[in-house]
Amino acid sequence: MTHADIDFGQLYRAHMAAAGGREKPPEEWDARAETMGRMSGESRYVDDFIGRMDLSGCATLLDVGCGTGAIALALAPRLQKVYGLDYSQGMLDVVMRNAAALGLDHVAPLRRAWEDDWSDVPACDIVTASRSTTVMDMADALAKLDAKAAKRVYLTSLVGGRFIDAEVAELLGRTRPALPDYIYIVNILYRMGRYPRLDYIENANRLAGTQDFEEFARKVAFTFGEIDAAGRARLRQWYDADPERARRGGAPFRWAFISWETTP
């Protein structure tokens, strides 16, 4: 067997199923939209993402899984038209409210999920997918991104397959296998005939930045589901044992920053 014999798209789907991966219903993201959408200035992650992009010769952007619009709105002043695509209406509402607050009248929302029909989604010079690539079918997702990009695609994918510190997961007895990570993307793109570029962005994990234990526990529950009393007690002990570690949410993680050209 050689590399050419391996169907990395199928391998990804099998890995995702074995790891118990699931697509969160849009209502879960709707419930978080207001909190996530509080505009607090540019983050280091957004700066790191945009700093790796080439906008030369580009006028339009499609931001897939745009969330509250951190990438789309930061780039909008440099472009003629920006589309924010997400399956959460709550997130799109926040995008448009923030766009209005910034005086950006050339931002448009598109409500779509990864698995939906994208035939009416406009093609743009650049397509981005920032921290939104934990999908059930990576080969299909990459084909959609590639098809909608006239010039370039930029995305980030988790390195190591875990969003939360492994020690926290172990405290709760939630030590399921890691999700498939960025290496599948590189191999699928290779099979697609693309030449992906690879870099890394270090970022705080999902539990970072909480102000108190209750906020911390809510973030943990968003990822793992309901936590019983014994689990809460163990989390509380971990949280109180090292306040600085708790503020960081445990160990940081890396995003793989992957880009490619769609033109010959």
pTM score: 0.83
Least confident of 14-28, 37-51, 52-66, 172-186: 37-51
Instruction: Tell me how far apart the alpha carbons of residues 144 and 66 are, in angstroms, rounded to a whole number.
Output: 15
Question: What pLDDT, on a 0 to 100 scale, did the predictor assign at position 12?
Answer: 95
pLDDT at 250 over 90: no
Q: Do 76 and 104 form a contact (C-beta atoms < 8 A)?
A: yes
Length of the chain, in residues: 264
Terminal-residue alpha carbon distance, the chain: 30
pLDDT at 38 over 60: no
Question: What pLDDT, on a 0 to 100 scale, did the predictor assign at position 41?
Answer: 42
The residue to which tokens 């010959």 are assigned: 264
Q: Do 76 and 55 form a contact (C-beta atoms < 8 A)?
A: no
Report which residue type is found at 153.
Answer: V
Q: Do 180 and 138 form a contact (C-beta atoms < 8 A)?
A: yes
The residue to which tokens 């991966």 are assigned: 21
Task: To the nearest 10°, report the CA torsion of 216, 218, 224, 226.
Answer: 130
Tokens at 168, concatenated: 């926290």
Instruction: Tell me how far apart the alpha carbons of residues 185 and 247 are, in angstroms, rounded to a whole number.
Output: 32
Bridge pairing between strands 81-86 and 107-111: parallel
* pLDDT tens digit sequence for 173-212: 877 788 999 999 999 999 999 999 999 998 877 788 888 9
More confidently predicted of 44 and 223: 44
Question: What pLDDT, on a 0 to 100 scale, did the predictor assign at position 34?
Answer: 64
The pLDDT confidence band at residue 21, using thresholds 50, 70 and 90, is confident
DSSP 67: T
